[in-house]
Structure 1
Amino acid sequence: MTQWIDAAALNDIEDEDVMRFDHAGRTFAIYRVDDAVYASDGLCTHEQVHLCDGLVMGHTIECPKHNGRFDVRDGRALCAPVCEKLTTYPARVEAGRILIEI
Structure 2
Amino acid sequence: MSEFVKVCPLAEIPAEGALAVEVDDTPVALVRTGDDVFAVNDICSHAEVSLSEGEIYNGTIECWLHGSCFDLRTGKPTNPPATQPVATYRVKVEDGDVYVSLGSED
Task: Output the TM-score relative to the length of structure 2.
Answer: 0.91
Corresponding residue for 1:45?
A: 45
Distance 1:49 1:14 in 2: 20
Q: Unpaired runs of 5+ in structure 2?
A: none
Rounded to whole Å, the distance in 1 between the matches of 2:67 and 2:28 is: 19
Equivalent position of 1:101 in the other structure: 101
Q: Which runs of 5+ in 1 are unaligned?
A: none
In structure 2, what is the equivalent of residue 71 of structure 1?
71
Q: Identity of aligned pairs, percent?
A: 28
Report the Cα distance in structure 2 between the residues aligned to 1:75 and 1:94, rounded to whole angstroms.
24
Q: Which has the higher strand share?
A: 1
SS in 2 for 1:52: helix
Q: Which amino acid aligns with 2:82?
A: V
CA deviations on 1:22-73 (whole Å, 9 max, x unpaired) are: 1332211110111111101110000110011111113110001000000111
Query: Deviation above 4 Å: which 4+ runs of structure 1?
Result: none
Cα deviation for residue 74 of structure 1 reads: 1.2
What is the aligned-residue RMSD (CA, Å)? Answer: 1.0
- State the match for 2:25 in structure 1: 25
One-letter amino acid matched to 1:57? Y
